[in-house]
């Protein structure tokens, strides 16, 4: 079946620290992979995506590389800011494109 | 584009009352999804539609829940009768298949339901 596993939170970092949030997936076929971010009181927003192996998605200083060999899509940012405090969800969609599978979310708090 | 529009943003009701949540998807999107988010269970898919037709409602918790999509620009999620355990944030999301072949899912801001 299809599923996404991401690291448990919460994660607390100091401003300018390096961030990694691990995400691994199980999927049949060739899924597309996504990171969504949810700020307090808001809906989920697409942060970045990758549609095939070795693709790197990037946005707002965040990056993730689609690794087929390790079935991973880890989220990284070199220097986090207080404004990055949010919940981050890893997700995949099947190659038919009409089913989405979300991880449980990882809460990130960045302290000044 | 105004994005996915949900109403109401907040609803407080008493147990046993009917609740109707509304969603206007992004124009041109052919898939519409209803999700529920709680602290205990995280994000759960309730039902999704393709071209206004329900495709998978296996996530609908019980018969008290129903969803309709009478046209491409409107969907409702109804709970009747409501119970305190239905308290959650309900998200509507819509998607299309982009040129890359990947569906891009866009969420609304959510409807926070509290059942007393």
Q: How confident is the model at residue A98 (pLDDT cuts 50, 70, 90)?
A: confident
What would the pLDDT profile of A14-38 be if each residue is shown by its tens digit?
999 999 999 999 998 889 999 999 9
Probe site for chain A from B102, B104, B110, B111 (most A CB atoms < 10 A):
B102
Model confidence pLDDT, tens digit, residues B32-63: 999 999 988 889 999 999 999 999 999 998 89
**What is the pLDDT averaged over residues A3-20?**
94
pLDDT at B24: 98
What's the angle, vertex CA B70, arms to CA B67 and CA B73, rounded to 5?
100
Q: B92-115: per-residue pLDDT in tens? A: 999 987 666 667 899 999 999 999
User: How big is the A-B interface in CB pairs under 8 Å?
Assistant: 56
B2-12 average pLDDT score: 95
pLDDT digits (tens, 9 = 90+) for B69-98: 999 999 999 999 999 999 999 999 999 876
In angstroms, the CA A13 to CA A4 distance is 24
CB-based contact (8 Å) between B102 and chain A? yes
Distance, in Å, from the CA atom of B65 to the CA atom of A60, rounded to the nearest integer, reads 39
Q: Which residues on chain A place their C-beta less than 8 Å from a C-beta of chain B?
A: 32, 34, 36, 42-46, 49, 51, 89, 91, 93, 95, 97-100, 102, 104-105
pLDDT of residue B99: 62
Separation in Å, CA of B108 to nearest CA in chain A: 6
Report the pLDDT value the prediction gives residue A58, as an integer from 0 to 100.
97
**Beta-strand pair A106-111/B19-24:** unpaired
**Chain mean pLDDT for chain A:** 93
- Check residue B78 and give its pLDDT: 98
Provide the pLDDT for residue B96.
83
Q: CA–CA separation, B112 vs B68, rounded Å?
A: 19
Q: What was the pLDDT predicted at A1?
A: 84
């Amino acid at each position: 079946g299809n599923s996404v596993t991401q690291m448990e939170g919460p994660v607390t970092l100091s401003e300018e620290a390096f961030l990694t949030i691990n995400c691994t997936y199980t999927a049949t076929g060739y899924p597309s992979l996504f990171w969504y971010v949810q700020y307090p009181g808001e809906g989920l927003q697409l942060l970045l995506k990758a549609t095939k192996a070795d693709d790197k998605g990037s946005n707002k200083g965040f990056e993730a590389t689609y690794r087929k060999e390790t079935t991973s899509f880890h989220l990284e940012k070199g220097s986090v800011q207080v404004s990055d405090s949010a919940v981050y969800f890893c997700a995949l969609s099947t190659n038919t494109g009409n089913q989405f599978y979300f991880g449980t979310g990882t809460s990130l708090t960045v302290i000044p | 584009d105004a994005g996915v529009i949900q109403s109401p943003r907040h609803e407080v009701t008493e147990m046993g009352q009917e609740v109707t949540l509304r969603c206007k998807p992004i124009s041109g999107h052919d898939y519409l999804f209803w999700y529920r988010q709680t602290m205990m269970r995280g994000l759960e898919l309730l039902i999704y539609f393709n071209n206004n037709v329900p495709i998978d409602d296996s996530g609908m918790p019980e018969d008290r829940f129903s969803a309709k999509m009478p046209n491409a620009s409107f969907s409702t999620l109804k709970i009747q009768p409501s119970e305190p355990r239905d308290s959650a944030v309900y998200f509507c999301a819509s998607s299309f298949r982009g040129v890359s072949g990947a569906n891009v899912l866009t969420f609304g801001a959510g409807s926070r339901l509290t059942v007393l």
